[in-house]
């Protein structure tokens, strides 16, 4: 991909429009930022721009106001959090376009930061409206996209605007995402192990199809495993299954065999009769799920076999938990796999909201090579799709 890097752009004294993803969560009681993970993620880019004397105009979407001004969906609460992290005051504009915004931008000095109001207050944002893009583009001389989490959306501030800016580049976070994910679809260090989980096979179907020819081993867990086991004719009790995809699961199993891939399914399961925390549970073999029970986690034999495969890897991609990790005692399998991934010494990439939550809960996030900030975007990237926000940056 021919995408200009931020460090190759002279930003001194220039107005820089930086698209970020500040779709954070707010505390319902105080209205303040509750989880600032997404703010922290873009700090390297904002600090770099400020240190090099850029006049920084930050823009983002926040929730879904559907083209209307919804006070509860204002980005204003982010100002205090961002100011704290940057160690200096951040100005705020009550809109993202218009004379008042243009005046606020004109007042910026080198190193100053201005946060614009929610882009989605304008219906044209989600419609990729060229007129809105034109007004946004007029605010700056340089466009920096550091919102990988929104890169799969053809929206005005992500797609249309990039085509209008003569100088456009990826922010440090965006570049890290591209640099970390691209090798998975190109020339990964081998053995390349893909670990996929989550509730349904339908949500990961294209990822499975796209990664299967590229990886050496594929390890399947979570609810999606039981559609595959059903395709093998094994009893699954009340476990989650997508009946309309059983035949497709069988085709994937046949294709994995044809390609000579190691395609692993659970060897044992932790089952319970109820889907609730601390429900009475037991471990049963692959073919031993009772009629009235459901599998809610992978068992110890599966953990051992999967960990053995992960230990041999040079590249690992993990997307989707191996069980209902939010509920005890059904979190052990996912946490054990998290430890295996963190300890394998390979280039490890974790993507997807639940997977990220899992590595954080397991306390191993700092031992993962790259944790993707884009749930939907990383999935579409792994499916082999072209992301509008990435494509628009290409020269």
**pLDDT per residue as tens digits for the range 263-283:** 999 999 999 999 999 999 999
Q: In this structure, what token pair is assigned to residue 77?
A: 């609460």
Q: In this structure, what token pair is assigned to residue 358?
A: 């899992």
- What is d(CA 171, CA 158) in angstroms, rounded to the nearest whole number? 13
Q: Do the beta carbons of residue 31 and residue 81 sit within 8 Å?
A: no
- What is d(CA 309, CA 195) in angstroms, rounded to the nearest whole number? 10
Per-domain boundaries in the chain? 6-173, 181-382
CATH superfamily, domain 181-382, is Phosphoglycerate kinase, N-terminal domain (3.40.50.1260)
**Does the pLDDT of residue 207 top 60, yes or no?**
yes
Would you state the pLDDT for residue 355? 84
Number of neighbours of residue 247 by Cβ within 10 angstroms: 10
329: enclosing H helix or E strand: none
Choose the catalytic residue: 14, 15, 38, 153: 38
52 is an active site residue = no
Reference 318, options 338, 304, 336; nearest CA is 338
353 is an active site residue = yes
Which pTM does this prediction carry?
Answer: 0.88
Give the pLDDT confidence of 152-169 residue by residue, as tens digits.
Answer: 999 999 999 999 999 999
For residues 116-122, average pLDDT: 98
CATH superfamily, domain 6-173, is Phosphoglycerate kinase, N-terminal domain (3.40.50.1260)
Would you state the pLDDT for residue 314? 97
Domains 6-173 and 181-382 share a fold: yes
Choose the catalytic residue: 4, 47, 127, 200: 200
Give the pLDDT confidence of 313-327 residue by residue, as tens digits.
Answer: 999 999 999 999 999
**Does the pLDDT of residue 352 top 80, yes or no?**
no
Would you state the pLDDT for residue 1? 57
Choose the catalytic residue: 53, 67, 375, 376: 376
Choose the catalytic residue: 53, 111, 353, 375: 353
Give the pLDDT confidence of 51-80 residue by residue, as tens digits.
Answer: 999 999 999 999 999 999 999 999 999 999
- What is d(CA 228, CA 242) in angstroms, rounded to the nearest whole number? 10
200 is an active site residue = yes
DSSP class of residue 3 equals B
Q: In this structure, what token pair is assigned to residue 113?
A: 């930061």
210: enclosing H helix or E strand: helix 205-211
To the nearest whole number, what is the mean pLDDT of the chain? 95
């Amino acid at each position: 991909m021919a995408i200009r890097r931020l460090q190759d752009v002279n930003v001194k004294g220039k107005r820089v429009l930086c698209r970020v993803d500040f779709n954070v969560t707010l505390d319902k009681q105080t209205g303040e930022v509750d989880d600032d993970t997404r703010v922290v993620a873009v700090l390297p880019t904002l600090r770099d721009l400020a240190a090099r004397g850029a006049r920084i105009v930050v823009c983002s979407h926040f929730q879904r106001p559907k083209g209307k001004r919804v006070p509860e969906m204002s980005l204003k609460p982010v100002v205090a959090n961002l100011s704290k992290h940057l160690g200096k005051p951040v100005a705020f504009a009550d809109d993202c376009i218009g004379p008042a915004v243009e005046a606020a931008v004109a007042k910026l000095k080198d190193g100053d930061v201005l946060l614009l109001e929610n882009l989605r207050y304008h219906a044209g944002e989600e419609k990729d409206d060229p007129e809105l893009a034109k007004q946004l583009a007029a605010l700056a001389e340089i466009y920096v996209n550091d919102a990988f989490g929104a890169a799969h959306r053809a929206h005005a501030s992500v797609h249309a605007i990039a085509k209008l800016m003569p100088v456009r580049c990826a922010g440090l976070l965006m570049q890290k995402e591209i640099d970390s994910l691209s090798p998975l679809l190109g020339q990964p260090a081998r053995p390349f192990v893909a670990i996929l989980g989550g509730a349904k096979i339908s949500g990961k179907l294209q990822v499975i199809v796209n990664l299967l020819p590229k990886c050496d081993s594929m390890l399947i867990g979570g609810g999606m495993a039981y559609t595959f086991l059903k395709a093998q004719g094994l009893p699954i009790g009340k476990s989650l299954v997508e009946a309309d995809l059983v035949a497709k699961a069988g085709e994937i199993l046949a294709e994995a065999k044809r390609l000579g891939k190691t395609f692993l399914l659970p060897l044992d399961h932790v089952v319970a009769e109820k889907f609730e925390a601390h429900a009475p549970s037991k471990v049963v073999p692959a073919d031993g799920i009772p009629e009235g029970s459901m599998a809610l986690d992978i068992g110890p034999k599966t953990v051992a076999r999967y960990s053995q495969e992960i230990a041999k890897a040079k590249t690992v991609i993990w997307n989707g938990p191996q069980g209902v990790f939010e509920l005890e005692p059904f979190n052990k399998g996912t946490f054990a796999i998290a430890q295996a991934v963190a300890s394998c010494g390979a280039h490890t990439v974790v993507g997807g909201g639940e997977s990220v939550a899992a590595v954080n809960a397991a306390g191993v996030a700092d031992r993962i090579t790259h944790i993707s900030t884009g749930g939907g975007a990383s999935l579409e990237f792994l499916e082999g799709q072209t992301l509008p926000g990435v494509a628009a940056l290409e020269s």
